[in-house]
Structure 1
């Protein structure tokens, strides 16, 4: 009888304690992967929460692209809209200021044809001839008023003289090239020197 009373008392005590000390799992318990550190970028979203945080702390991709376009437009002082023209603008801008080095074709130094061939390979996946004279032989010749972004511009010093210089046409009579007296730069076909020696445009087919 006594034993039964003691057992009943213990049972009642146990129920009472369980009532007061019942532990509910914390709602903020971290999932199994919470110990992993994630880098949140507009291009790598790992979960719904990450998506929200990415939207809170990062600009949308479209806005970032617009900012980049604005940067390159200011660097070249002209604006491009077509995808290939925009890619060309991005690429050539990174070369501006590269010093002139005869026979070279890298961002440490390049001559005019080396610059053009490097850009065409990177932007269009096209391998051009290495010299300005051979490039001129390989392209479709076009008039000055027919040139479009990405066409080549060729120069010679007079009738029956060989081609001595080549650049890439951008727009608004401006082209980018590697000049012996300044390296990679943007120049205008309206400048007296280039206006006098301009010979023809060239389109790579």
Structure 2
């Protein structure tokens, strides 16, 4: 009975989100208005625990139906928050980390939740998700990644930008469907589209962090 009520409440919460449509340009830029990871945690925490009150999720088995419902709701939440069409098999930890950073203000030379620049954001996400320490600057990251054709980018690849023949000056994390997460000087951490005129004209290359790719392969 307890779990049935929780399912109903979670489903009702998600259903209400469909009454509010996104602006037409939401696919190019998504900002969080609250603390997404905290909201997601509060929504699904009860679903993780099927035992008696006070029991620990780590020590209580989760039945397959609950696990499937939880995963479906989690992916739906990330899809709505980030403006993505997900296949429900993407790296949830990466989506969680990016979602939690969305809305962080831009701050040159910083990499904290109070403010971060583009490379600071990327290094923090890769540390949180993969336990990988990347080079601190976008130029250094470029030299240590494996080149990937634009049409073959995967979720978690890095996207680099430069003006004309100048040096690389910006980096972001590719998500999917032409969208990437980055910390922009005019808005902080957000999700933008590579189809936007500015990013389309300044896109230079995509790179894959080999250690992250190996970590993904080992989890499959």
Using the size of structure 1 for normalisation, the TM-score is 0.70
Contact 1:73 1:80 in 2 (8 A): no
Superposition RMSD in Å: 2.1
Aligned equivalent of 1:82: 89
The gaps in structure 1 that reach 5 residues or longer are 1-39, 48-53
CA shift in 2, pair 1:88/1:41, >3 Å: closer
Contact 1:155 1:198 in 2 (8 A): yes
1:104 to 103, 110, 118: 110
CA shift in 2, pair 1:103/1:65, >3 Å: same
CA shift in 2, pair 1:80/1:87, >3 Å: farther
Contact 2:47 2:70 in 1 (8 A): no
Q: 70-79 vs 162-171, which deviates more?
A: 70-79
Cα distance in 1 for residues equivalent to 2:105 and 2:74: 25
Cα distance in 1 for residues equivalent to 2:183 and 2:52: 45
CA shift in 2, pair 1:81/1:65, >3 Å: closer
Which is higher, the Rg of structure 1 or of structure 2?
Answer: 1
Moved runs in structure 1, 4+ residues, more than 4 A? none
Aligned equivalent of 1:71: 77
Q: How many residues align?
A: 154
Matches within 5 A, 1:38-187: 42-43=48-49, 45=51, 60-78=66-84, 79-84=86-91, 86-159=92-165, 161-187=166-192
Cα distance in 1 for residues equivalent to 2:67 and 2:178: 32
Aligned equivalent of 1:5: none
Cα distance in 1 for residues equivalent to 2:160 and 2:201: 12
Cα distance in 2 for residues equivalent to 1:169 and 1:83: 12
CA shift in 2, pair 1:163/1:152, >3 Å: same
Cα distance in 2 for residues equivalent to 1:195 and 1:173: 10
- CA positional deviation for 1:42: 4.2
Larger RCO (CA within 8 A; separation ≥ 6): 2
Aligned equivalent of 1:34: none
Cα distance in 2 for residues equivalent to 1:132 and 1:96: 19
CA shift in 2, pair 1:201/1:45, >3 Å: same
Matches within 5 A, 1:188-199: 188-199=193-204
Q: 66-75 vs 183-192, which deviates more?
A: 66-75
The gaps in structure 2 that reach 5 residues or longer are 1-45, 54-59, 211-220
Cα distance in 2 for residues equivalent to 1:186 and 1:102: 19
Contact 2:163 2:202 in 1 (8 A): yes
Aligned equivalent of 2:20: none
Question: 2:190 aligns to what SS in structure 1?
Answer: strand
Question: 1:60 aligns to what SS in structure 2?
Answer: helix
Using the size of structure 2 for normalisation, the TM-score is 0.65
